[in-house]
Amino acid sequence: MNRIPLALIGLLLLASVAFALAEKVSLIEIDGAIGPATATYIARAIEEAARQDAQCLIIQLDTPGGLLDSTKVIVQSLLAARVPTVVYVAPSGASAASAGCFITLAAHLAAMAPATNIGAAHPVQMGGAGQQLDDAMKKKLASFASSYIESIAVKRGRNVEWARSAVQESASISETKALELKVIDLIAVDREDLLRKLDGQKVEGATLRTASAEVVRIPMTLRERVFQMIWRPEVLFVLMLIAIYGIIGELSNPGAIIPGAMGVAALILALYMAAVLPINVAGVALIVVAIILFIAEAFTPTFGLLTLAGIITFFIGSLMLFDRPEPAFRLSLSFIIPATLLTAAFFVFMVSAGLRAQFLPARSGREMMIGRTAPALTVIDSSGGKVFIEGERWNAVSDTPIEKGEPVEIVGAEGLTLKVKPKSKQ
């Protein structure tokens, strides 16, 4: 009777040992533009795959391009990886364009799914800090990118000539041509096919065993997901709008505090992101001009002409703000048009009213009495006296003595005491 439980325990122990010894393959998926969060994610995934003693790390890639600084970080991580790395351009219809080309070439093994492409790694498309480059700087950047991708191709034993043409001529090729030119190592229909074809491949003296390996995903951390979400042109644009609304709203309605605090916080975040995302300075300048036109409308009777000019200028500036060829670094019209109309409405109906209110003459209280004439109820001198105005008796002082009954002119107010002077006789 006791042998059956002991046998079951033995089988469970053997199963657990077998499970622990089963080969593992780590997997991450990169879909979208390459940015700081992507670089952090890939670097962490490489370290995590090494700790898991994985056969390799598969990076499934589909990207239109990205930022040069982030691309360099990823390439450095791939070249220094302690675990075999495989970049798999998939699914069908995916591309490894611009920055994705550098990343694919830097992996130990490169694979592509059918109906995919790789290339177009021109440095202008890869972007920088958003400055408009002159011809000399473009040549220097192209020369750097060309030599950089050549060094990657040499390191990984790939086609150096084609790598150079991907930068200098923006060459782009399909998966079949890439395999023919030895840009990649294999074509795989899907992930299962990829694991079968990776099995037996030698990477730096080690033979991969992936045919029956368990695929273990390495998910993004919460921090990486948040940064991946916010490092987008739309988020930066929204932060700019919040900064504009908050700061201008506080200036037009002093003392509100919350709009100003939100505006300053949004401005700091926007400036931080602008140091990385490719912003067009001309677009920013046009948006600033639009804001000036909106504010000017509040003080000039142009019957809406300045507002119309502001709307047009803001719209063009928004279009130019992220003037990039990659869709991931552009603002869509469905985003720009509502933002333009909302901004125009904000300035027309809220800011203009607030600014006008600050510069209108007082309509009530002590301020409206200044310049008025009233009779002295008592003798008025520097020590005090009384005047009658607006149906009320007011304390009054005067540097020049005034007799009872004489008319006085109110020249100021201090607390509940009016400052008066004798009314000059015409």
* Domain CATH for 391: 2.40.50.140
**248 and 219 co-located in one domain:** no
Last residue of a domain, one of 205, 226, 247: 226
Do residues 138 and 241 share a domain? Answer: no
Residue 115 sits in the same domain as residue 241: no
Instruction: Give yes or no: residues 98 and 40 share one domain.
Output: yes
Q: Tell me, yes or no, if 98 is annotated catalytic.
A: yes
Q: Is residue 16 part of a domain?
A: no
In a domain, 3, yes or no: no
Residues 287-324, buried b or exposed e (16+ Cβ, 10 A)? bebbbebbbebbeeeeeeebbebbbebbbbbbbbbbbb
Quick check: is 17 in a domain?
no
Per-residue pLDDT, 291: 86
**Residue 11 placed within a domain:** no
Residue at a domain's end among 172, 202, 226:
226
Q: Has 424 been annotated as catalytic?
A: no
Say how many C-beta atoms besides its own lie within 10 A of residue 76's C-beta: 13
Instruction: State whether 178 and 69 are in the same domain.
Output: yes
pLDDT digits (tens, 9 = 90+) for 249-302: 777 666 667 888 888 888 888 887 776 677 788 888 999 898 888 878 777 766
The reply to whether 5 falls in a domain is no
Amino acid at 56: C
What is the residue-averaged pLDDT of the chain? Answer: 83
Tens of pLDDT, residue by residue over 78-122, are 999 999 999 999 999 999 998 999 999 999 999 999 999 999 887
Q: Determine which one of 70, 95, 98, 146 is catalytic.
A: 98
> Are 241 and 204 in the same domain?
no
d(CA 96, CA 88): 9
- Domain span including residue 414: 367-422
Please give the single-letter amino acid code of residue 350: M
Per-residue pLDDT at 135? 66
Q: Are residues 184 and 245 in the same domain?
A: no
Is 10 a member of any domain?
no
Regarding whether 215 and 78 lie in a shared domain, the answer is yes
Which is the catalytic residue, given 140, 155, 182, 202?
140
- The domain boundary residue, chosen from 207, 226, 245: 226
Question: What does DSSP say about strands 407-414 and 373-375: parallel, antiparallel, or unpaired?
Answer: antiparallel
8 domain-assigned: no
Instruction: Indicate if 140 and 40 belong to the same structural domain.
Output: yes
Q: What are phi and psi of 119, to 5 degrees?
A: 135, -155
* Angle ∠(185,188,191) on CA atoms, nearest 5: 120
* Separation CA 352–CA 109 (nearest Å): 61
Give me the CATH number covering residue 31: 3.90.226.10
Identify whether residues 300 and 407 lie together within a single domain. no
Give all strands (DSSP E) within 181-299, no chain letters: 186-187, 202-203, 206-207, 214-217
Q: Are residues 346 and 296 in the same domain?
A: yes
pLDDT at 248: 79
Supply the pLDDT for residue 217: 95
- Same-domain status, 73 and 203: yes
Does residue 58 form part of some domain?
yes
Q: How many CA atoms lie within 13 A of 205 on its CB side?
A: 1
pLDDT tens by residue, the chain, 426 residues: 445 565 555 555 544 444 444 689 999 999 988 888 899 999 999 999 999 999 999 999 999 888 888 899 999 999 999 999 999 999 999 999 989 999 999 999 999 999 999 998 877 544 444 445 556 667 777 888 899 999 999 999 999 999 999 998 889 999 999 999 999 999 999 999 999 999 999 998 889 999 989 999 999 999 888 887 777 788 888 888 898 888 877 776 666 678 888 888 888 888 877 766 777 888 889 998 988 888 787 777 667 788 889 899 999 998 888 766 666 667 888 888 998 888 888 877 765 555 555 554 554 555 667 778 888 889 888 888 998 887 788 889 998 888 888 888 888 888 778 888 888 754
Q: Which residues of 13-30 are buried (b: 16+ CB within 10 A; e: fewer)?
A: eeeeeeeeeebbbbbbeb
Overall domain count for the chain? 3
Neighbours of 379 (CB within 10 A): 16
